[in-house]
């Protein structure tokens, strides 16, 4: 006789148990990504509701598989929250130039960044400090994503060479 398929209630109970048992670990994992307890709690709740929505399509999982699945769902929800955040700093070219000219060049990283042209420094700042996406940078400069990615790769090589050269 075949094992009967679990009911929706059984799957929901297993999902609730996984979230309840591992709640502290799940929130802590989300907090590592979001750097914020409130966002971590939101990510955990969002993951729970997403999984509840998908419940009718979920295949039965063993306990350890379900726990890993829940963990990955929470991590994805935390990443989604971080991606949706607005940049804390609104980029202004004059501020970037000011930051570039006022940097303390005694640290190796700051020295390396000081060797960049103003345009390369602004590109570096937008991508790695503000967190602007490559696509948004490409739109702002009226160019293509691959060109921006190529320029960023060249900038990383320049910085790497100064740091490890």
Give the global pTM: 0.50
Predicted confidence (pLDDT) per residue in 15-25, tens digit: 888 888 889 99
Fold of 8-84: Rna Polymerase Sigma Factor; Chain: A (1.10.1740)
Indicate the CATH number of 93-164 among 2.60.40.10, 3.40.50.720, 3.90.550.10, 1.10.10.10.
1.10.10.10
CATH 1.10.1740 in the chain: give the residue spans.
8-84
Q: Comparing 28 with 12, which gets the higher pLDDT? A: 28
More reliable by pLDDT, 158 or 49:
49
Q: From the CB of residue 91, how many other CB atoms can be counted at a distance below 10 Å?
A: 15
Residues forming CATH 1.10.10.10 domain(s) in the chain = 93-164
């Amino acid at each position: 006789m075949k094992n009967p398929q679990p009911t929706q209630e059984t799957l929901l109970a297993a999902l609730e148990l996984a979230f309840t048992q591992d709640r502290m670990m799940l929130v802590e994992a989300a907090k590592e990504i979001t750097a914020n307890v409130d966002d971590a709690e939101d990510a955990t709740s969002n993951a729970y509701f997403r999984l509840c929505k998908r419940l009718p399509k979920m295949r039965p999982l063993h306990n350890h598989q379900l726990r890993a699945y829940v963990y990955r769902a929470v991590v994805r929800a935390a990443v989604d929250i971080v991606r949706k955040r607005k940049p804390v700093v609104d980029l202004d070219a004059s501020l970037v130039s000011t930051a570039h000219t006022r940097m303390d060049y005694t640290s190796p990283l700051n020295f390396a960044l000081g060797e960049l042209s103003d345009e390369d420094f602004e590109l570096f700042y937008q991508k790695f400090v503000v967190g602007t996406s490559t696509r948004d940078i490409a739109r702002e400069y009226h160019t293509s994503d691959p060109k921006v990615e190529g320029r960023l790769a060249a900038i990383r090589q320049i910085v790497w060479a100064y740091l490890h050269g």
